[in-house]
Chains A and B, each alone.
Chain A
Amino acid sequence: ISLNEAMSALGDAKASGQLGEQPNGYLGVVKSGGQADEIAKLINAARRAEYQKLAQQNGIQLSDVETIAGQKAIDKTPAGQYIQQQGQWRRK
């Protein structure tokens, strides 16, 4: 599937509890099946490119950007969707 298709399918995949947000700024597969793995792979690649650009522009490490991104993604995850904390998936 294309990145565009992954983007449009992302919302449902999260709402149905297949995908969740991890502290490292990337999507994690909570329950694989259907295209969940494929969506996560494409979205995460796009995110990594964005993080790389930001780290480069501000002269900080990629992992620094991933850290802030992870915290923000978890913060902004709506109730009912999955987030990962200390390695455990839990519904927010």
Chain B
Amino acid sequence: LQLKATLGELFLRSGNPLAKTLVQWPELLDLNSGRVNATANLTLAAGSNAPSVDLNLTGKGLGGIYDRSELSGLDTRLQFKLARQRFDLAIQELKIQQANPGLPIGPIEARGRYSASLASVDKGQLEVNLARTALMGGQVTLTPGQWDLAAGNQLFPIQVRGLELQQLFALYPAEGLAGSGTLDGDLPVRLGQKGIEVENGQIAARQPGGHLQFSSEKIKALGRSNPAMQLVTQSLEDFRFTTLSSSVDYDQHGKLRLAMRLEGQNPAIENGRPIHFNINLEEDIPNLLASLQLTDRVNEIITRRVQQRILQRNTAPKEP
């Protein structure tokens, strides 16, 4: 039996019939705009109940929400083959103008393929030929390579180049924080059971360094309340740094730890006497994103998922 089907051009604005037909449609993906064309042929060998499928799909200007990120301007060309209980997905083109989980990431580009058996869909072979995105004025790139996801958590080397502190501070929800400087870094990302983690990543500002300005009423009050802090808050009001470098660690619960070295001076303090900081900084990324998303006027679907995610995080058994 040979069945050749050409899916007419489909405008997703009119609702997403694909989501109702394809049983494997990712539950967290709502597409609500753009055009999809697909041609598929389905052959069912006599006597076997497992059909083999060969699907070519192109998408143009797709948009919508995946999990808690708004996606826009998504173009893709992909080929999906299913035969003898194994599938092979080849992504010839994937461009996402912007993915926004609380901060704007993109444009993103990716090319690669993934194949696995239907029995263990998440334990397949992944090949990445291209995976990079623009971020805060810089580029974040995954080194192309091949990974066998069945072999436990794998190393995904990520390079960060040319990230602008100015844009990072503009996006970061902290009052009175500004500055300039360009960061480069290398982050060894691992894919664990419960999510991604980074061990002993490195990030540092390019020479000649940059500028930090951190002053707000709250910070000044903090300085007044405690003499030791006074020097810290005053020096950071106008800090010219020559060195900013940090180790980066991120665990599967979303905890980011930076052990930062900051060297520079504030011309107004002891007329520019050198000041060296060792700062251990801890940030909770899910909280950061939840906070960004909540104040970001995101729409209803994401807000509902923020709540579900909070529910899961709090009811998950606490590790010792």
Asked if the two chains touch in their complex, CB atoms less than 8 Å apart, one says: yes
Binary interface profile of A, 49-71, with partner B (CB < 8 Å = 1, else 0)?
00000000011110110011011
Measured in the bound complex, the distance between the Cα atoms of B314 and A75 in whole Å is 8
* In contact, A67 and B306 (Cβ under 8 angstroms): yes
Interface size class of B (residues with CB under 8 A): 10 to 19
Measured in the bound complex, the distance between the Cα atoms of B310 and A74 in whole Å is 12
> Shortest CB–CB separation between residue B302 and chain A, in angstroms?
10
Contact of B303 among A58, A63, A74, A75 (CB under 8 A): A63
* In contact, A67 and B307 (Cβ under 8 angstroms): yes
Measured in the bound complex, the distance between the Cα atoms of B294 and A74 in whole Å is 20
Instruction: Determine whether A28 belongs to the interface, using a CB cutoff of 8 Å to chain B.
Output: no
Instruction: Determine whether A20 belongs to the interface, using a CB cutoff of 8 Å to chain B.
Output: no
- Chain A residue contacts of B276, Cβ below 8 A: none
Nearest chain A residue, comparing its CB with the CB of B305: A67
* In contact, B297 and A68 (Cβ under 8 angstroms): no
- Chain A residue contacts of B310, Cβ below 8 A: 68, 71
> Shortest CB–CB separation between residue B82 and chain A, in angstroms?
30
Classify the interface of chain B: helix, strand, loop or mixed. helix
- Chain A residue contacts of B294, Cβ below 8 A: 60-61, 64, 67-68
* In contact, B307 and A71 (Cβ under 8 angstroms): yes
- Chain A residue contacts of B300, Cβ below 8 A: 63
Measured in the bound complex, the distance between the Cα atoms of B307 and A67 in whole Å is 6
Q: How many residues of chain A are within 8 Å of chain B by beta carbon?
A: 13
- Chain A residue contacts of B306, Cβ below 8 A: 67
- Chain A residue contacts of B304, Cβ below 8 A: 23, 67
> Shortest CB–CB separation between residue B120 and chain A, in angstroms?
28
Measured in the bound complex, the distance between the Cα atoms of B304 and A64 in whole Å is 9
* In contact, A61 and B303 (Cβ under 8 angstroms): yes
Instruction: Determine whether B311 belongs to the interface, using a CB cutoff of 8 Å to chain A.
Output: yes
Measured in the bound complex, the distance between the Cα atoms of B308 and A75 in whole Å is 12
Instruction: Determine whether B295 belongs to the interface, using a CB cutoff of 8 Å to chain A.
Output: yes
> Shortest CB–CB separation between residue B317 and chain A, in angstroms?
15
- Identify 24 residue pairs between A and B in the complex whose beta-carbon atoms are under 8 Å apart, listed by A's number: A23-B304, A59-B295, A60-B294, A60-B295, A60-B297, A61-B294, A61-B297, A61-B303, A63-B300, A64-B294, A64-B295, A67-B294, A67-B303, A67-B304, A67-B306, A67-B307, A68-B294, A68-B310, A70-B307, A71-B307, A71-B314, A74-B311, A75-B311, A75-B314
Which A residues are within 8 Å of any B CB, using their own CB? 23, 58-61, 63-64, 67-68, 70-71, 74-75
Closest 10 CB pairs of A and B: A67-B307, A64-B294, A71-B310, A71-B307, A67-B303, A71-B311, A60-B294, A63-B303, A60-B295, A64-B303
